[in-house]
Amino acid sequence: MPPAGGLVLGGVGLRHRLLVMASSEDDANLFLSLPRALQHRADHPGQLSVHVLARGASLGATILRHRLCAARVIDRELDYARVLAAPPELRQQPDEDTSRLFHQLDAVPERACEDEPDPARANLLDGTWLDGLPRSPTELEDLAALLELSSASARPLAPWSAAAAASAVGQP
């Protein structure tokens, strides 16, 4: 289970969990994985939770960590996730809604988010993880198929084997 904190869409009870660790708002892990994950969540509600954590001690990671927490504090997680899913060049000249969101996030007091975890301190590796396994952007291109394979691999084979054995017994 990843450490608490960050931005979370969906709960621990969902079947699949995508964990994205990023070093700043411009980290490629965000805009390469979040668009597919957000679309999958919209198309298949109740299946995938998304957890975004800031990793590292750089200024970019510190800003991201605060904004992830602030989004949770003011209940704007989905809005901020959508902003992070956009390519960084689109955020360089933010529209009015995005500017307003950034202002709201930055207005959350630092003390409200001072205990946010850093996965680097727990020796967790950078990148994107799906159901506890590291995944590349290429693997995440067909997220639906990857989730189906992940679900299939988690299913016990006993019922299938029992049905096959039962049908084989009835045959000479």
pLDDT of residue 12: 78
CA distance 69 to 7: 6
**Each residue of 111-168: pLDDT tens digit?**
999 988 887 777 777 899 999 899 999 999 999 988 988 776 655 544 444 444 444 4
Where do the domains of the chain lie? 7-169
Of the CA atoms within 13 Å of residue 63, those in its CB half-sphere come to 11
Average model confidence (pLDDT) across the chain = 86
Task: Specify the range with the lowest mean pLDDT, choosing from 4-13, 58-67, 115-124, 138-147.
Answer: 115-124
1, pLDDT greater than 70: no
Looking at the domain covering 7-169, what would its CATH class be? alpha beta
**Three-state SS at 85:** helix
pLDDT of residue 160: 47
| Inter-axis angle of helices 77-85 and 96-106, nearest 10 | 120
pLDDT of residue 66: 97
94, pLDDT greater than 80: yes
CA distance 65 to 57: 10
pLDDT of residue 20: 96
